[in-house]
């Protein structure tokens, strides 16, 4: 039976690193290829954790790990950064497995830190001629430029797919056809989201592959290093390519069979010692502290600023569908005056998924309450944005003694008539989002979100329904929103169903806590503001500027008056 995979953050100097961990025993580090994250190593974690304490980090600049603080990063820098990470984790020695760019880091780590490396195993070690390096650096890594029509999402989709059709991806002829299957749609979707996560900075970490010294590193190796390769792999190499005396291993084409062989190889030279318990993530100035809580064997991402026990903190519930990732500026603004925390609701962002029948307001409320209990927070103020306001209001109604005040930002509030008309048509347009072979699922979500800023309701694309505000449709901002929404596409349709079905006006009227209602006029649910303001005569309703400082100021002033 596979061990549970837990997720963690660790602060390494002035940067933050994200990693997966599972198993017990000698420590094994898994290093993924670019431009993915450690999520791609899931099957390796499951199998190898039978024999090892497996730690699979997102390499700097990918996944949720910060870039290294330098304009041009080298593989040597990444190898040294791995050593720094081991220091932060309290680990002396490890074995290292790496794939593609991760293989380069693994071998360079073995060369530069031999006392800390029991062995290294590669699955596809990149070997390039000088001419190939120059050509890749010149044209292999074009910038990611968000476009108004979402066409950059399709470009990324086919760019990622194409590297499984041609190698390199931009050499479209028979001589460069890839000798492999195109991965399934879920695999491609995950890879696209990871590219969006890295953003245009993907070129920094990815370019290290084409600046690395390649086989010249072999001369510096003093610990066992096995160079493995699979038939059909874009980075495949043959024993004849390797310097004399190099340990090489031909791996099976089938990835599951290859993993079985890799498991056997790694057990030949296990590291000394074990890993201590995962350390807490320490604070960094000007940003929230991120970590995970294990709630009923489900990892829930939590962000905090300040001591949560000096005063009732402000709890931030993100818009639904969405995540807390885009709320860090708001956390920082509130955190200047009050302790604050946010979480990715289960089924959203980086928290673990929910089953289909669990994706509803009551389950989210239960999860939030479990987080408050785990953190020993008896009372809090709760902020809910858009669909997140449904969770805030329901939490206040079900657990009134725990919630000091409600801070609602442009809640989804419809009259019964609007729920029958707007709500029903809205849900008809929200079909389940499943990855499509042509990437069109990404465009569908992009244009729904963009049209929400242009019309109310978004599906009535007529002159009389055009919104009379400057629309928030900046392509870069929309890209971040769509990225977070699409981290768990299976949640998209059921989440909208729960939000649009929720009787906000009725439930808000029943809440007894002091209530602040705010909205920017540009918010996609600003048209709901007047109805929400009318359901309780005692709530304070304010229009605010569309920035975090204005929102935070309104909330802090309101909290100050009721405490």
Least confident of 200-214, 389-403, 508-522: 200-214
- The pLDDT of residue 238: 61
Q: Which CATH architecture has domain 6-126+212-266?
A: 3-Layer(aba) Sandwich (3.40)
The token pair that represents 100 in the structure block? 């593609």
Tell me how crowded residue 476 is: count the other CB atoms within 10 A of its CB. Answer: 10
Q: How confident is the model at residue 361 (pLDDT cuts 50, 70, 90)?
A: very high
Tell me the mean pLDDT in the region 73-87.
97
Fold equal for 6-126+212-266 and 289-415+501-562: yes
In the chain, count H helices and then E strands.
Answer: 19, 16
Residues 468 and 516 sit within 8 Å (Cβ to Cβ): no
- Round to whole Å and give the CA distance between 494 and 498: 6
Tokens for 430, please give them: 């929200």
Long-range contacts made by residues 37-46, C-beta under 8 angstroms, separation at least 24?
Answer: 37/62, 37/63, 37/64, 37/194, 37/197, 38/63, 39/63, 39/190, 39/194, 40/190, 40/191, 40/194, 42/5, 43/255, 43/256, 43/259, 44/97, 44/259, 44/262, 45/5, 45/20, 46/2, 46/5, 46/22
- Closest among 31, 12, 198, 16 to 107, alpha carbons compared: 31
Element (H, E) at 49: none
- Helix axis angle for 440-452 and 151-162, nearest 10°, is 160
239 pLDDT band, cuts 50/70/90, is low
Structure tokens, 50: 């039978």
Residue 26's pLDDT band, with cuts at 50, 70 and 90, is very high
Among 378, 447, 402, 408, CA closest to 558:
408
Question: How far is Cα 218 from Cα 239, in angstroms, rounded to an integer?
Answer: 13
DSSP SS3 for 496: helix
Q: What is the rounded distance in angstroms from the CA atom of residue 124 to the CA atom of residue 141?
A: 20
Strands 247-250 and 225-229: parallel
Q: Containing H/E element for 305?
A: strand 299-305
Residue 242, pLDDT score: 81
Helices (H), 336-439: 361-374, 388-398, 416-418, 424-428
* pLDDT(529) > 70: yes
Q: Determine whether 307 is exposed, middle or buried from the number of CB atoms within 10 Å of its CB (0-12, 13-18, 19+).
A: exposed
Asked whether the predicted pLDDT for residue 240 surpasses 80, the reply is no
Name the CATH superfamily housing domain 289-415+501-562: Alpha/Beta hydrolase fold, catalytic domain (3.40.50.1820)
- Whether the predicted pLDDT of 108 surpasses 60: yes
> Which is it for the CA torsion 557, 374, 346, 366, positive or negative?
negative
Distances from the Cα of 168 to the Cα of 94, 141, 238, 348, angstroms: 33, 11, 19, 34
Coil/strand/helix, residue 358? helix
Q: How many CB atoms lie within 10 A of CB 143?
A: 9
DSSP lists the bridge partners of residue 123 as 99, 228
Q: Which range has the worst mean pLDDT, 23-27, 240-244, 359-363?
A: 240-244
Burial bucket for residue 552 (CB in 10 Å: 0-12, 13-18, 19+): buried
User: Residue 3: what pLDDT?
Assistant: 80
> Residue 347's closest CA among 298, 402, 397?
298
Residue ranges with strand state E in 157-239? 225-229
HEC per residue, 110-174: HHHCHHHEEEEEEECCCCCCHHHHHHHHHHCCCCCCCCCCCHHHHHHHHHHHHCCCECCCCCCCH
Confidence of residue 554 (pLDDT cuts 50, 70, 90): very high
Selection from 202, 272, 192 nearest residue 440 by Cα: 192
| pLDDT tens per residue across span 177-219 | 999 999 999 999 999 999 999 999 999 999 999 999 999 999 9
Q: What is the pLDDT of residue 359?
A: 84
Tell whether the model's pLDDT for residue 1 goes beyond 60: no
Per domain, the residue ranges of the chain are: 6-126+212-266, 143-205, 289-415+501-562, 416-497
Percent of the chain with pLDDT over 90: 90
Q: What is the DSSP string of 247-260?
A: EEEEPPSSHHHHHH
């Amino acid at each position: 039976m596979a061990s549970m995979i837990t997720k963690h953050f660790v602060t390494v100097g002035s940067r933050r690193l994200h990693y997966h961990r599972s198993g017990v025993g000698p420590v094994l580090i898994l290093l993924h290829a670019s431009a993915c994250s450690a999520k791609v190593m899931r099957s390796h974690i499951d199998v190898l954790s039978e024999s090892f304490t497996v730690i699979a980090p997102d390499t700097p600049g990918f996944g949720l790990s910060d870039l290294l603080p330098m304009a041009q990063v080298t593989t040597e820098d990444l190898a040294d950064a791995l050593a720094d990470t081991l220091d932060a984790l309290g680990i002396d020695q490890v074995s290292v497995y790496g794939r593609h760019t991760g293989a380069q880091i693994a071998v360079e780590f073995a060369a530069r830190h031999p006392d800390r490396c029991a062995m290294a195993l590669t699955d596809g070690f990149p070997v390039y001629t000088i001419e190939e390096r120059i050509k890749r650096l010149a044209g292999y890594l074009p910038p990611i430029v968000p476009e108004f029509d979402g066409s950059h999402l399709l470009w990324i989709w086919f760019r990622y797919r194409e590297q499984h059709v041609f190698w390199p991806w931009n050499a479209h002829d028979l001589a460069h056809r890839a000798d492999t299957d195109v991965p399934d749609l879920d695999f491609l979707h995950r890879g696209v989201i990871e590219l969006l996560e890295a953003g245009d900075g993907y070129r920094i970490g990815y370019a290290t592959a084409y600046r690395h010294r390649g086989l010249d590193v072999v001369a510096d190796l003093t610990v066992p290093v096995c160079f493995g390769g699979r038939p059909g792999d874009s980075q495949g190499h043959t024993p004849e390519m390797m310097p004399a005396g190099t340990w090489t291993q031909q791996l099976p084409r089938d990835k599951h069979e290859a993993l079985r062989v890799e498991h056997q190889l790694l057990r030949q030279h296990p590291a000394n010692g074990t890993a201590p318990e995962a350390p807490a993530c320490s604070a960094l100035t000007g940003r929230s502290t991120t970590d995970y809580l294990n709630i009923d064997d489900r990892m829930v991402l939590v962000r905090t600023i300040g001591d949560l026990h000096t005063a009732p903190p402000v709890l931030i519930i993100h818009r639904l569908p969405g995540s807390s990732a885009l709320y860090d500026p708001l956390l920082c603004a509130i955190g200047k005056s009050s302790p604050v925390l946010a979480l990715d609701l289960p089924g959203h962002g980086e928290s673990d998924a929910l089953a289909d029948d669990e994706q509803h307001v009551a389950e989210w409320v239960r999860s939030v309450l479990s987080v408050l209990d785990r953190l020993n927070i008896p009372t809090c103020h709760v902020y809910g944005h858009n669909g997140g306001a449904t969770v805030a209001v329901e939490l206040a109604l079900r657990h009134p003694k725990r919630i000091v005040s409600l801070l609602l930002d442009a809640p989804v509030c419809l009259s019964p008539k609007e729920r029958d008309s707007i709500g029903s048509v809205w849900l008809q347009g929200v079909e389940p989002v499943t990855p499509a072979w042509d990437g069109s699922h990404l465009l569908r979500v992009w244009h729904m979100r963009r049209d929400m800023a242009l019309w109310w309701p978004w599906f009535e694309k007529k002159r009389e329904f055009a919104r009379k505000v400057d629309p928030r449709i900046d392509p870069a901002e929309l890209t971040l929103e769509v990225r977070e929404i699409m981290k768990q596409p299976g949640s998209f349709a059921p989440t909208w169903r729960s939000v649009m079905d929720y009787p906000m006006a009725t439930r808000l009227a029943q809440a007894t806590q002091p209530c602040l209602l705010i909205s920017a006029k540009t918010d996609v649910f600003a048209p709901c503001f007047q109805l929400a303001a009318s359901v309780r005569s005692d709530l304070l309703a304010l229009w605010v500027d569309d920035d975090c400082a204005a929102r935070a100021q309104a909330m802090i002033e309101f909290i100050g008056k009721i405490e």
